[in-house]
Structure 1
Amino acid sequence: MRNVIEEARMVLPGIQALFGFQTIAVFNQRFLDLPGAMQLCHLLALALVVLSIALAMAPAAYHRIVESHQVSEQTVRLSSWFICAALAPLAGGLALDMAVVLYLVAPSYALSAAGTAATLALLLGLWFAFPLRARRRRG
């Protein structure tokens, strides 16, 4: 359980920092100049990062409420699942914000969509496909 909590502690500050930057972006004048579709894209990215924070923090809350003085194998498994699950919405949020940034650099929906797809493929590949493939090879 200590390892699971340490993993959450490593991931959570980065996610929270991203959330802070995402929130501040809304108050920037250039945000108001974005088309509605890109503003919505940023809002969806923000929502996905909130979901990621909730999933990453769930193990600590669950442990404190359900098993504050002990640790079961079920809690370790559930906590590990929560942390792993937090990476999926984080990847989506990062990819959607990449779309917004790319649109600011070169106002093109096609470039934004391509950047979103590439970012999502990279993150999901490294965070899920690669480890799952390695686990399958080990049997």
Structure 2
Amino acid sequence: MALKDKVKTALDETRLLILGSQILFGFQLNSMFQEAFEEISRVGRSLNAGGYFLMATTVGLLIAPSMQHRLVEHGQDTQRMHRATTVFAALALIPFAPSLGISFYIVLERHAGAGLAAAAGGAFSLAALFFWFGIERMIKPPEKKMGNDEDEKSTPLHTRIEQMLTESRVMLPGA
């Protein structure tokens, strides 16, 4: 696959993850304004704040590659951009998993008790991390270091404009 296609695919994947995490971010924010929020235990409310922080961290890590592409790389497709996008996407999944587990805990705490909710939330987080990272490590052979085996070429203006418009649609939903 050509470098420009690799960068486009990597950025598109982070944009898709941004949309999903923005939805969950909105649900977490909205939960604080619901009447039932007062019925959640003090521990649950504290965990909700922590989960909100983790989701905000996830969104920030997912937005970073698009900003780096635009500001640091000036819209050029480079090996460094491809590596950075891959690293940021992987890093974003780390706070995303416990945030999901915390949300799972909050939902179950009221109906099943704190102990079972904590076990289920923790198991959910660990399962997510296993599916995202563990399986890959088990079945994928060690990857060769990304080198400069592909020549970096100047990205054509029409490709840079297309990427910028895609980024603006993701950052400004409805645009």
**TM-score, scaled relative to structure 2:** 0.75
Residue of structure 2 equivalent to 1:31:
37
Residue of structure 2 equivalent to 1:109:
114
Residue of structure 1 equivalent to 2:77:
71
Q: What letter matches 1:118 in structure 2? A: A
Residue of structure 1 equivalent to 2:152:
none
Higher alpha-carbon Rg: 2
Kindly indicate whether residue 19 of structure 2 is the aligned counterpart of residue 13 of structure 1.
Answer: yes
Distance 1:74 1:22, change over 3 A: same
Distance 1:60 1:137, change over 3 A: closer
SS of the residue corresponding to residue 104 of structure 2 reads helix
TM-superposition CA deviations, 1:3-27 (whole Å, max 9, x none): 1111012211111000111111001
Equivalent runs, 1:91-130 vs 2, <5 Å: 91-106=97-112, 108-130=113-135
TM-superposition CA deviations, 1:16-70 (whole Å, max 9, x none): 0001111110011111121111000111111101000000110000110111242
| Distance in structure 2 (CA, Å) of the matches to 1:34 and 1:63 | 42
Distance 1:53 1:138, change over 3 A: closer
Structure 2: give runs of 5+ residues left out of the alignment: 1-6, 145-175
Structure 1: give runs of 5+ residues left out of the alignment: none
1:133 aligned residue (130, 133, 138): 138
Distance 1:101 1:2, change over 3 A: same
More helix by share: 1
User: Does the aligned pair in 1 maintain the 2:57–2:92 contact within 8 Å?
Assistant: yes
2:54 aligned residue (48, 56, 60): 48
**TM-score, scaled relative to structure 1:** 0.93
Identity of aligned residues (%): 27
| Distance in structure 2 (CA, Å) of the matches to 1:123 and 1:129 | 9
Q: Work out the number of aligned pairs and report it.
A: 138
